[in-house]
């Protein structure tokens, strides 16, 4: 373990969340202790190769176990807690700290991996201060698209570090109160050594409308509801769920839930003391049948076009319990996460084809963001007035634009560090500097095996999927210990009718073989290598494909 020359120094190392939207995770290390703040996944575009998510490479920090005091979670979104099972599975069996609602979500997640008894979960109330040996963490409740989200004020030997995590400023949130600006101002007066702040929504120049501003538009939908209505939303958005239930009750509608996401989040919100008064209009999906079609409302999963989600199956007319008719309505009270537009569009098109009315555009206003826009970020900077600033949570352009904002607010260039995953920020009471610590901080997770897989394996899967497999079998005379010159070739997943190619390849392989046995030091590995190169060159020249090639020796 490294020696700690300056006992007041702290190190903050980013394992994810920079240059990407997702996988939020960084570590904070003091001389005596090691912490992780958030532990999220990044949804992957490698799904066709069985890689649904990426998560931080926890192997990089296993040597910190002797001083690892815990993982502290700011809120329950997947990009903040989704990687916990992989962390625990990898051996990081350390205490977790979370709010009551977040703790429920974490337990459910760990249960899915059979890991619920592997770690202790300590529950804090938003507003509490967590005290550790070398630091304390004051949690400040903030506004976000999930309940019980917190910013952290970390009092460390190097000074105060404020981490906003995901936040927005909502003057009239559906649940909870307006973000407590006084708390941030107070910390600002104390003197903030370093601010880490959410950057995702920096491109938006306008203040976010309040969650309560959705109410008239949503109410209009209930007022003129002529047939069954399906709402799809981010299941974790309990504030939105609460609004929909309030309106349903007011207008005499019955609401059913359909889909694991909505059911789970609502169940845990209720167990955490929210949504207490929804029973008057909540019915099971079977009971819904007994009400007039125009009084039926269903909250369904699938706002992102997910392949097996309820809404996708409804659109395919494959859902066993929900059958839409022409004139029914589907409302997207959500926005597409970048990258999901094609899948969402596919579902919407199918619904339109069936005569369903689909509301999915920005007007009327049916969704507001949970992330601070430029004017809200400015307010945060004005409250906190940090000595040093690092933008976090965002793609590269978001981080650079956020840097610009800080400079516009009066910070000098040398007071702002835009860093990348793997970088470590050293902070002392008098200095801040950045060092590149790790090159690659990402693990790709195989969705079926639920374990990390290497980039090489994924590359191989991609090649197999795109260009198929050529297998070359070399028979060997086991008595004489010599390879026979006749080879067997199989081609899978590349050509409709591979016979002709197989004959051509046999001749080529023979040629490579003959060349090889003329050499003095014949080795099967070298033969395989040259055969692989030759076959791939053949297909590249012919059909611009480079198949995976495997060579096998069989004793006969
Ligand atoms: Zn979030």
- Residue pLDDT, tens place only, 381-406: 999 999 999 999 999 999 999 999 99
Same domain? For 155 and 45 the reply is: yes
CA separation for the pair 304, 301 (Å, rounded): 9
- Position 521 scores a pLDDT of 60
Residues 6+ apart with CB under 8 A from 427: 9, 10, 11, 12, 156, 158, 159, 161, 193, 194, 388
Same domain? For 220 and 146 the reply is: no
Cα 220 to the center of its chain, rounded Å: 34
**From ligand 1's centre to the CA of 146, what distance in Å?**
7
- CATH code for the domain in which residue 429 is found: 3.60.15.10
Same domain? For 318 and 393 the reply is: no
Domain boundary among 328, 359, 390: 359
Residue 74 has pLDDT above 70, yes or no: yes
Q: How confident is the model at residue 232 (pLDDT cuts 50, 70, 90)?
A: very high
Same domain? For 54 and 135 the reply is: yes
**From ligand 1's centre to the CA of 42, what distance in Å?**
12
**From ligand 1's centre to the CA of 145, what distance in Å?**
7
Same domain? For 440 and 478 the reply is: no
Q: Residue 23: inside a domain, yes or no?
A: yes
Cα 450 to the center of its chain, rounded Å: 15
- Position 519 scores a pLDDT of 62
Residue with more model confidence, 538 or 527: 538
**From ligand 1's centre to the CA of 434, what distance in Å?**
26
Q: Residue 3: inside a domain, yes or no?
A: no
- Position 242 scores a pLDDT of 96
Q: By mean pLDDT, which of 53-62, 315-324, 524-533 is the weakest? A: 524-533
Residue 106 has pLDDT above 90, yes or no: yes
**From ligand 1's centre to the CA of 202, what distance in Å?**
15
Mean pLDDT of all residues in 9-27:
96
Q: Residue 533: inside a domain, yes or no?
A: yes
Residue 481 has pLDDT above 70, yes or no: no
Report residue 470 as tokens. 């050529």
- Position 332 scores a pLDDT of 96
**From ligand 1's centre to the CA of 144, what distance in Å?**
7
- CATH code for the domain in which residue 341 is found: 3.40.50.10710
Same domain? For 254 and 267 the reply is: yes
Domain holding 536, by residue range, is 464-555
- CATH code for the domain in which residue 501 is found: 3.10.20.580
**From ligand 1's centre to the CA of 305, what distance in Å?**
20
- Position 515 scores a pLDDT of 83
Residue 41 has pLDDT above 90, yes or no: yes
Residue 518 has pLDDT above 90, yes or no: no
Same domain? For 96 and 187 the reply is: yes
- Position 476 scores a pLDDT of 82
3-class secondary structure, 166: coil
Q: Residue 55: inside a domain, yes or no?
A: yes
Q: Residue 458: inside a domain, yes or no?
A: no
Residue 1 has pLDDT above 60, yes or no: no
**From ligand 1's centre to the CA of 182, what distance in Å?**
22
Best CA proximity match to 167, nearest among 145, 135, 196, 186 = 145
**From ligand 1's centre to the CA of 502, what distance in Å?**
54
Domain boundary among 359, 385, 409: 359
Domain boundary among 415, 430, 453: 453
**What average pLDDT does the structure give for the chain?**
94
Dihedral (C-alpha) 349, 355, 356, 358: value to the nearest 10 degrees?
A: 50
- Residue pLDDT, tens place only, 112-152: 999 999 999 999 999 999 999 999 999 999 999 999 999 99
Phi, then psi, of 247 in degrees rounded to 5? -70, -40
**From ligand 1's centre to the CA of 88, what distance in Å?**
22
Give the CB-side neighbour count of residue 254, counting CA atoms within 13 A: 15
**From ligand 1's centre to the CA of 512, what distance in Å?**
58
Positive or negative: CA dihedral 104, 109, 110, 113: positive
CA separation for the pair 511, 534 (Å, rounded): 10
Domains identified in the chain, total number: 3
How far apart, in Å, are the Cα atoms of 462 and each of 137, 366, 533?
44, 39, 18
Same domain? For 412 and 517 the reply is: no
**From ligand 1's centre to the CA of 353, what distance in Å?**
34
């Amino acid at each position: 373990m490294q020696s700690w020359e300056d006992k007041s120094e702290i190190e903050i190392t980013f394992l994810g969340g920079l240059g990407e939207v997702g996988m939020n995770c960084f570590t904070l290390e003091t001389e005596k202790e090691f912490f992780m703040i958030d532990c999220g996944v990044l949804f992957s575009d490698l799904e066709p190769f069985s890689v649904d998510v990426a998560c931080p490479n926890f192997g990089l920090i296993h040597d910190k176990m002797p001083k690892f005091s815990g993982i502290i979670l700011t809120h329950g979104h997947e990009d903040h807690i989704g990687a916990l099972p992989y962390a625990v599975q990898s051996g990081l069996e350390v205490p977790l700290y979370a709010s009551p609602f977040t703790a429920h979500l974490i337990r459910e997640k760990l249960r899915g991996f059979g890991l619920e008894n592997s770690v202790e979960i300590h529950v804090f109330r938003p507003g509490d201060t967590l005290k550790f040996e070398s630091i304390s963490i004051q949690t400040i409740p903030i506004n976000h698209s999930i309940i019980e989200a917190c910013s952290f004020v970390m009092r460390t030997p190097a000074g105060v570090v404020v981490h906003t995590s995901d936040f927005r400023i909502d003057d009239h949130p559906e649940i909870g109160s307006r973000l407590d600006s006084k708390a941030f101002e107070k910390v600002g007066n104390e003197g903030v050594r370093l601010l880490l702040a959410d950057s995702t929504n920096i491109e938006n120049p306008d203040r976010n409308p309040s969650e309560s501003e959705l109410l008239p538009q949503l109410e209009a939908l209930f007022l003129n509801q002529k047939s069954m209505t399906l709402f799809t939303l981010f299941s974790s958005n309990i504030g939105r769920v609460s609004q929909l239930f309030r309106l349903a009750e007011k207008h005499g509608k019955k609401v059913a839930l359909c889909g694991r996401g909505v059911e789970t989040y609502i169940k845990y919100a209720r167990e955490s003391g929210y949504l207490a008064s929804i029973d008057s209009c909540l019915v099971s999906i079977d009971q819904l049948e007994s009400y007039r079609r125009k009084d039926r409302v269903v909250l369904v999963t699938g706002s992102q076009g997910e392949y097996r989600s309820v809404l996708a199956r409804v659109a395919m007319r494959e859902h066993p319990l929900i059958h839409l008719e022409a004139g029914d309505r589907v409302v997207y009270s959500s926005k597409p996460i970048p990258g999901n537009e094609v899948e969402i569009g596919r579902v919407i098109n199918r619904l339109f084809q069936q005569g369903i009315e689909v509301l999915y555009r920005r007007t009327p206003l049916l969704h507001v963001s949970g992330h601070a826009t430029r004017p809200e970020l400015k307010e945060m900077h004005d409250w906190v007035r940090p000595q040093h600033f690092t933008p976090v949570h965002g793609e590269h352009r978001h981080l650079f634009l956020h840097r610009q904002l800080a400079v516009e607010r009066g910070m000098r260039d040398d007071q702002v560090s835009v860093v990348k995953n793997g970088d470590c920020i050293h902070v002392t009471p008098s200095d801040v500097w950045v060092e590149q610590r790790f090159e690659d901080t990402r693990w790709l997770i195989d969705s079926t095996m639920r374990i990390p897989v290497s980039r090489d394996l994924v590359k191989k899967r991609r090649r197999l999927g795109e260009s198929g497999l050529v297998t070359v079998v070399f028979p060997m005379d086991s008595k004489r210990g010599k390879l026979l010159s006749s080879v067997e070739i199989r081609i899978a997943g590349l050509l409709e009718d591979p016979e002709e190619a197989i004959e051509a390849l046999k001749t080529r392989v023979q040629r490579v073989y003959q060349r090889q046995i003329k050499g003095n030091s014949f080795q099967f590995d070298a033969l395989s290598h040259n055969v692989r190169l030759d076959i791939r060159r053949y297909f590249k020249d012919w059909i611009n494909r480079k198949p995976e090639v495997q060579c096998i020796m069989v004793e006969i």
